[in-house]
Amino acid sequence: MIKKYRFNKEHLVRAILTVFALSSLLFLFLIFIFILFEGLPLFLKIGLNKIILGFKWAPTKDSFGIFPMVVSSFLVTFGALVIGAPLGLSCAIYLSEYSGKKTKMFLKPALELLAGIPSVVYGFLGVIYIVPLVRNYLGGSGFSLLSTSIVLGVMILPTIISISFDAIVSVPKTYREGSFAMGATKWQTIYKVIIPSAKSGILASFILGMGRAIGETMAVIMIAGNALKIPTSILDPLRTLTGNIALELAYATGDHRLSLFSTGVVLLVIIMILNYIANFGIKRKVLK
Amino acid sequence: MRVNPRFIDKIVKLGLNAQAFFTVGILIVIVATICFKGFPYINFEFVFSSPEDMGRRGGIFPSIIGTILLVMLSILLATPLGVGTAIYLTEYTKESRFTKIIRFGVESLAGIPSILYGLFGFIFFVIKLKMGWSLLAGVLTTTIMILPTIIRTSEEAIKSVPRNLRLVSYSLSATKWETVTKVVIPSAAPGILTGVMLSIGRAVGETAAVIFTMGSSLRFPASLMDSGRTMAVHFYILAREGISMEKAYATSLILVLSILLVNIIAYYIMNRVISKYS
Amino acid sequence: MPKITRVFMLLILTIFSCCCCNISHNSSSKKQTVTIAGSTSVMPFTEKLAEHFMIDHPEFIIDVQGGGSTAGIQACMNNTVNIGMSSRQLKEAEMVLNEIVICYDGVIIVAHPQNPIKDLSLKQVRDIFNGKIKNWKDLGWVNRRIDAVSREEGSGTRGSFEELVMGSEDIDDGIMVQDSNGSVKEVIATDPYAIGYISLGLVDSNVKAISVDGIEPNLKNIKNKKYKVIRPFIFLSKERLQEDSKTFVDYVLSNDGQKILIKEGLISIYD
C-alpha cells in the first residue's frame, strides 16, 4: 500500500513539473511568436527590400526604410568593439597571466560591479561627461557616434573580459610550460601560443559583446542624438534600431506599429545569428 | 636591429598593467562620481517621502516600493517556473531534438534586447489585454525577461551535479522526486542562486521594459493594476529632463547601492551554501 | 549558520509584508483613481494641478504619465487611460474623442543664453529645421554648425511646430531628436550652438527665447495673438467623462485650477 502512495506522488510531481515547464516555455515562445507574427506581415506586404534597404523612415507617410538605422546600429557596435575589444582582451590577459591572487580577489568583484551598473546610469554619465568633452574638443554637438561608441565600449567590457578570461584560463598548462621550456618570454608565449589557442573563445567574447551593444537602448537614446540620417563622420548624430523602437513605441498605430515589430524581427535575427556564431565558436574550442 | 625580447616583455607587462588599472579606474570614477555627487542629498526624508513638483523636491519612496514590489513579484513568479523547467528538462526528459530546440530557444531569448520585451509587453499586456500601465503588466513582462536566465543557469547547475550522487541516492531507494529535492537541488543551489541573484540585479536596473509596461506615475503602486515608477525609471526621467541633477545623482546612488547589496548577499549566500555542502 | 539564514529570510519577509501593508493602506479600491497620459508638454502642469487637487481631495489618486500627444490620443482611444492629454489640434481620424481645452500655450524657439541672436524670421527658422541653413555664420554668428534639436514624430509640440512654422516643408532627417520637452531644453541649456523649440511654460533662465519676425514670444504677444505659434492644451476622453474624471476636470477649468496654470506661465482659457 505504501508503494502505491509513492507511485501516485511521483506522478503528481511529474505532472506539476510538466505544467511548470510547459507554461514557462509557453511564455517564452509567446514573445517569440508574437514578434514574428506582428512583424512578418509588413515584410510580405511592402517587400523586404523596401524596408531593410529603404533609406527614408517616415512612418506617418508610409515610408518604412530602416537602412540608415541598420547602418547606425552596426557602426555603433563596431565602434564599441574598437574601444572595448583591445582594452577588454588586455585586461583578460592581465587577469589570467600577470595578476596575483590578491589582485584577482579585488578585480573580479570590481568587474561584476561594473557589469551590474544599469545602462541608464551609463547613459546619464555619458551625457554629463563624455558629450561635452567631445563637443568642446572635437566639435559637433557631442551627441554622436563617437560618444555612443565610447560609452557602449565601456559597457561591454565586463562581457568581453570575463569570457576571454575563461577562454585563456582553459588553455592547458602544458602549452605554457612547453613554450617556456623552449626559452620563450612570457609575452612571446602569450601572443604566439596562448592567444591562438584561446582564439575561438576570445572571438566568441567579442561577438557576445557585439550582441550586447546592438541591443542596448536607454544609454543610446540619451547619447546618440537620434537623427535619422546615416552619419558621415564620427561626430554626427545617429539613430539605432533599438532607439527607434523606444522613441516611437508609445504612439505608433497600424502599419507604423507593425513596422516596429518588423524592426524587432530584424534585431532578433541579427542577435540570433551572433549568438549562434559565438556558441559555435565556444563549442568548437571544446571539441578541439 | 633586434629588440631584446625580455625588454619587450617588460614593456608589455607595463602596458597590460596600465590597461587593467585604467579599466578599474573607470569603475572607480563612475562609482566615486555617483557617491560624491549623490551622497549629500541622501537623508531620511529622501528615502521615505514622496516626490513633489515632478521630483524637484521630496524623496523617492514610491519608486523604492515600486522597485521592491516589481522585482520580488517577478522573482516569485519566475524562480519556481524557471527552476521547475530546468529540473524537467534535465531530470525528466531524455536528450532529444525537441530538447535541443528548446535549449536553443532559451539561449536566444536570453540575448533579446530589453526594448523588445518592452514592445511586446506594451502591445500585449497594456493594450491587448487591457491591463493599462500597471504593476501587473510590469511584473509579467519582467518575469518573461528573466526566465531564460534562470532556466539557463539552473540547468547548468543541475547538470553539473555528479551522476554518482544521484545513483547513490537511488541505491538507497529514494524516489526520483526525493532525489531531486534532497540531493540534486541542494548541490546545485549555488548555481541556481547565482542565476536568481543575477536576475534580481538585472530587474532592478531595467528601464526599457519597465517604463512601457509599468508606466511612470509618481504615485504609490497601491494595487496590481496601479502604475508606478521603479528607481531606474525615476532616475531616467529625472536625468533626461534635467529636472534635478542632485536628485538624479542621489537616486542613482541608491540604485547602484541596491544592486551592490544584492551582489553582496549573493556572494554571502553562495559561500555559505558551498561550505555547507562541500 | 541556520540562524543567519533565518534572520535573513525574516528580513526579506518583513520588507515584503511592509510593502503589502502599504498596498492595503493605500488601496485604490477605497480611492477614486483617474489615469491621465499623453503630451509631455501638458504633463508637468497636469501633475501640478493633480498635486493641489489631491490636497483638497485626499480620497482621489490622479495618475499622470507622459508619452507624447499621439501616445495620449492612442491611449485614450484604446481605453488605456481615463483622460488623454494633447498639445496639438486633433487630426480628422482622431476627432471621435471629446475635446476639452484647458489652456493655451506657445511654442517658443529657444537657444543657449550665450547665443547673441535675438530674432529670426519665420523663413529662417523654417530653413534651419529643413536643413537649408546649416551654419551659424549664415545667421551672423560664428562659423560653426547649428545643432538643431527637434521632437519625435508623435509629439504634439512637433505637430504644432510643423503646422504653424514649417508649413508644407519637412523637418530634415539629419536633425537630432529628443523625446520630451524637458530633454530638448536640457540639450539647449548645455550646448551653446543648439537651437530648438519647447513649450512656453517651460522657458526659464536656462534658455533664451528667440523672437520670430520681430515679435517677442511673451504672454502679452500671445494673448493679443501677435505671436502666432500658439496651440491649445487639450484633455481628451472617449465617451462622456466618468464622474471621477469630471470632478478633476471641473477643478482644472475652475478659477483655482486656471490660477495655477497662469502662475506657471500658461494662458488661461478665459483670456
Q: How many CB atoms lie within 10 A of CB C95?
A: 10
Q: Is the pTM of this model over 0.80?
A: yes
Spatial separation of the C-alpha atoms in residues A92 and A202, rounded to whole Å: 10
Condensed to tens digits (0 to 9), the pLDDT of residues C180-203 reads 888 999 999 999 999 999 988 888
Condensed to tens digits (0 to 9), the pLDDT of residues A33-66 reads 899 888 888 888 888 877 788 888 888 777 888 8
Is there a contact between A227 and C152 if contact means CB atoms under 8 Å apart? no
Same domain for B184 and B217, yes or no, is: yes
- Backbone φ and ψ of C37, nearest 5°: -150, 160
Q: Is C196 left (phi over 0), alpha (psi -120 to 50) or beta?
A: beta
Hey, which chains touch A, using 3+ CB pairs under 8 Å?
A: B, C
Alpha-carbon gap: A129 to the closest alpha carbon of chain B (Å): 11
Strands C32-38 and C83-86: parallel
Count of all residues that appear for chain B in the document: 278
Was domain C106-230 assigned CATH 3.40.190.10? yes
Find the CATH number of the domain harbouring B73. 1.10.3720.10
Q: Which residues contact B163 (CB under 8 A, 6 or more apart)?
A: none
Same domain for B132 and B207, yes or no, is: yes
Residue type, C3: K
**Residue B137 host element (H or E):** helix B135-159
Query: What sign has the CA pseudo-torsion B35, B41, B44, B45?
Result: negative
Which own/partner contact pairs does A29-37 have at CB distance under 8 Å and 24+ positions apart?
A29/B105, A30/B124, A30/B144, A31/B109, A31/B112, A31/B116, A31/B117, A31/B120, A31/B144, A32/A268, A32/B105, A32/B109, A34/B120, A34/B123, A34/B124, A35/A261, A35/A264, A35/A265, A35/A268, A35/B116, A35/B119, A35/B120, A36/A265, A36/A268
Residue with cell 500585449: B124
Inter-CA distances, C234 with B3, B273, C46, C104, C218, Å: 76, 59, 11, 9, 21
Q: What is the SS3 assignment for A129? A: helix
pLDDT top residue among A158 and C222: A158
CB of C113 closer than 8 Å to CB of C105: no
Q: In chain C, what residues touch A251 (CB-CB under 8 Å)? A: 67-71, 73-74, 153-154
Predicted pLDDT of residue C22: 64
CB of B239 closer than 8 Å to CB of A127: yes
Nearest to B159, CA basis, from B76, B93, B105, B108: B93
Nearest to A116, CA basis, from B71, C8, B261: B261
A93 touches chain B (CB under 8 A): yes
Predicted pLDDT of residue C1: 45
Candidate CATH numbers 3.40.190.10, 3.55.40.10, 3.20.20.100, 3.40.50.2300; the one for domain C33-105+232-268: 3.40.190.10
Nearest to C172, CA basis, from C109, C113, C112, C128: C128
- Across the range B217-227, mean pLDDT stands at 85
- Rounded to 10 deg, the angle between the B97-110 and A2-46 helix axes is 60
Same domain for B37 and B140, yes or no, is: no
Condensed to tens digits (0 to 9), the pLDDT of residues C79-89 reads 889 999 999 88
Spatial separation of the C-alpha atoms in residues B184 and B250, rounded to whole Å: 43
Which of C22, C45, C85 to mutate: most B Cβ within 10 Å?
C22
Condensed to tens digits (0 to 9), the pLDDT of residues C3-50 reads 656 666 777 777 777 666 666 665 555 678 889 999 988 998 999 999
- Across the range C232-240, mean pLDDT stands at 89
Is there a contact between A60 and C178 if contact means CB atoms under 8 Å apart? no
Spatial separation of the C-alpha atoms in residues B34 and B257, rounded to whole Å: 10
B76 touches chain A (CB under 8 A): no
Spatial separation of the C-alpha atoms in residues B139 and B158, rounded to whole Å: 27
Chain A segment 223-282 residues within 8 A of B by beta carbon are 242, 245-246, 249-250, 257, 260-261, 264, 267-268, 271-272, 274-275, 279
- Across the range A169-194, mean pLDDT stands at 84
- When mean pLDDT is compared across A18-27, A58-67, B96-105, C200-209, the lowest value belongs to B96-105
CA dihedral A173, A175, A176, A182 (to 10 degrees): 140
Predicted pLDDT of residue A108: 80
Give bridge partners of residue C237 from the DSSP assignment: C98
Is there a contact between A215 and B144 if contact means CB atoms under 8 Å apart? no
E strand intervals along chain C: 32-38, 60-67, 83-86, 98-111, 119-120, 147-151, 176-178, 194-199, 208-209, 211-212, 230-237, 267-268
Same domain for B116 and B67, yes or no, is: yes
The range of the structural domain enclosing residue B34 comes to 5-41
The residue ranges of every structural domain in chain C are 33-105+232-268, 106-230
Distance of CA B145 to the CA centre of its chain: 10
Spatial separation of the C-alpha atoms in residues C189 and B146, rounded to whole Å: 39
Predicted pLDDT of residue A217: 94
pLDDT top residue among B196 and A10: B196
Same domain for B15 and B87, yes or no, is: no
C13 touches chain B (CB under 8 A): no
Condensed to tens digits (0 to 9), the pLDDT of residues B192-201 reads 888 888 889 8
Nearest to B207, CA basis, from C28, A13, A222: A222
- Rounded to 10 deg, the angle between the B245-277 and B5-38 helix axes is 120
Spatial separation of the C-alpha atoms in residues C189 and B52, rounded to whole Å: 23
- Backbone φ and ψ of A252, nearest 5°: -75, 140
Kindly state the cell numbers that stand for A87.
582594452
Q: Which residues contact A168 (CB under 8 A, 6 or more apart)?
A: A92, A93, A96, A97, A194, A195, A198, A201, A202
Q: How many helices (H) and strands (E) does chain C have?
A: 9, 12
B124 touches chain A (CB under 8 A): yes
Count: domains in chain B? 2
Whether the pLDDT of residue C178 is over 80: the answer is yes
- DSSP 8-state secondary structure symbol assigned to residue C172: P
Same domain for B31 and B124, yes or no, is: no
Kindly state the cell numbers that stand for B156.
547548468
Whether the pLDDT of residue A286 is over 60: the answer is no
Whether the pLDDT of residue B160 is over 90: the answer is no
A161 touches chain B (CB under 8 A): yes
Is there a contact between B176 and A10 if contact means CB atoms under 8 Å apart? yes
Is there a contact between A251 and C74 if contact means CB atoms under 8 Å apart? yes
